[in-house]
């Protein structure tokens, strides 16, 4: 139940980010230079979320394996969650 709720809230936040993307050109440095930091920020968040989803899928599939290294995957999950937490703090 908690996982489903967090997935739903992530979906709503993703929709809000998608609504921002078409407006990014308004904040560019100039017409020749497409740079404003928002694209980079969205790219970093997108890559972190995609990697977290891949990691969660991998964990779900392989968690019963004899060679599953739970400590390694726990550290990796914690690292990506920390990155997303810092990115959220950057916005706030």
**Per-residue confidence (pLDDT) for residue 35, from 0 to 100:** 74
Structural tokens at position 77: 């999950």
Task: State pLDDT tens for residues 1-41.
Answer: 344 444 445 555 556 666 777 777 777 777 777 777 777 88
Are 24 and 36 spatial neighbours (Cβ–Cβ below 8 Å)? yes
The CB-based long-range contact list for 72-77 (8 Å cut-off, 24+ gap) reads: 77/52
Task: State pLDDT tens for residues 52-64.
Answer: 989 989 998 998 9
**Per-residue confidence (pLDDT) for residue 12, from 0 to 100:** 55
């Amino acid at each position: 139940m908690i996982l489903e709720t967090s997935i739903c809230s992530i979906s709503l936040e993703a929709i809000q980010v998608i609504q921002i993307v078409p407006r990014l050109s308004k904040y560019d440095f100039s017409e020749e230079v497409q740079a404003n930091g928002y694209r980079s920020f969205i790219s970093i968040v997108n890559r972190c979320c995609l990697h977290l989803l891949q990691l969660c899928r991998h964990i779900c599939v392989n968690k019963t394996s004899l060679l599953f290294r739970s400590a390694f995957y726990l550290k990796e999950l914690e690292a990506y969650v920390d990155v997303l937490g810092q990115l959220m703090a950057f916005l706030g």
